[in-house]
């Protein structure tokens, strides 16, 4: 039984509400999206943030699920008002390492990196230790705070991390939020909030090759330093996890 330490205001959604899932990279979002599409049949997967800004009102009207790589602030447009927002977070260290592993795996398999982002091209050439503390690694290192805390100004990299963190917390309070370590419970939680009683088992997709930290060139001292740098990210992750567990428990009590 999950212990509840304080009451929490839950986001209530109706059975016919639309859903917008913000997929933060390397948080099992592909697996989660595939599971959602079983129940939200009229869906659209967004590959890049700019794409969502160019959806016509008629297109959005016909959708019941939007999922993919975009920012929560983009959902502030009036056409997205009917959509309940949801996202999924992962242990910050594991997420960051998985991001590096993903690029390195594809590079080792001989995939052409010409069209990759500068960060992805850089990963293909350097150790994890070097990438972890590089300028190119900044937004990836703090990706969960960056994506949730960013606004329309497009200047997140120049904003104090504290301000981004506070924005990200406020953002989560208005979303259905889950964490990867409880991804199955979170999926059921989202389905029940929309009046869906099914309890499907989530699969695993887009899993990259496993590497040890030693293999990718991260020393113990660097690991300790990186975990220290990621303290704000761990704080946001802990906040999200607590929020999710309180809501799941509240739903269980209301159903009893």
Indicate the domain borders of the chain: 18-255
Task: Domain 18-255: state its class.
Answer: alpha beta
Q: Give Cα separations from 143 to 18, 68, 183, 220, 229 (angstroms).
A: 26, 15, 19, 23, 13
Coil vs helix vs strand at 66: strand
Which of residues 221 and 215 earns the better pLDDT score? 221
pLDDT at 159: 84
Task: Quick: pLDDT tens for 160-169.
Answer: 899 999 999 9
pLDDT at 119: 81
Q: What is the mean pLDDT of the chain?
A: 88
- CA-nearest of 170, 248, 256 to 4 is 248
pTM comes to 0.89
pLDDT at 239: 98
Name the one residue in this structure whose structure tokens are 């917390």.
169
Task: Quick: pLDDT tens for 227-248.
Answer: 999 999 999 999 999 999 999 9
In this prediction, what percent of the chain has a pLDDT beyond 70? Answer: 89
Contacts of 79 (CB under 8 A, 6+ apart): 55, 57, 60, 61
Q: Where are the beta strands (DSSP E) in 16-118?
A: 18-22, 43-46, 65-68, 83-89
pLDDT at 5 exceeding the cut of 50: no
């Amino acid at each position: 039984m999950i212990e509840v330490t304080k009451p929490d205001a839950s986001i209530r959604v109706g059975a016919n509400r639309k859903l917008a899932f913000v997929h933060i990279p390397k948080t099992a979002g592909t697996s989660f999206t595939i599971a959602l599409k079983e129940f939200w049949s009229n869906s659209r997967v967004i590959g890049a943030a700019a794409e969502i800004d160019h959806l016509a009102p008629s297109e959005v009207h016909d959708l019941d699920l939007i999922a993919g790589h975009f920012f929560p602030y983009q959902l502030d447009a009036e056409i997205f008002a009917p959509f309940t927002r949801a996202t999924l977070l992962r242990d910050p260290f594991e997420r960051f390492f998985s991001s590096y592993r993903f690029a390195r795996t594809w590079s080792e398999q001989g995939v052409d990196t010409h069209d990759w982002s500068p960060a992805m091209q850089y990963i293909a050439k350097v150790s994890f230790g070097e990438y972890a503390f590089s300028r190119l690694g900044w937004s990836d290192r703090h990706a969960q705070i960056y994506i949730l805390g960013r606004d329309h100004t497009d200047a997140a990299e120049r904003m104090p991390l504290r301000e981004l963190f506070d924005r990200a917390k406020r953002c989560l309070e208005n979303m259905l939020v889950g964490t990867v370590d409880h991804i199955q419970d979170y999926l059921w939680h989202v389905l029940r909030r929309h009046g869906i009683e099914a309890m499907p088992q989530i699969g695993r997709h887009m899993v990259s090759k496993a590497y040890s930290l030693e293999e990718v060139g991260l020393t113990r001292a660097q690991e300790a330093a990186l975990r220290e740098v990621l303290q704000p990210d761990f704080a946001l992750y802990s906040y999200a996890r607590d929020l999710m567990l309180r809501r799941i428990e509240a739903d269980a009590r209301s159903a009893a």
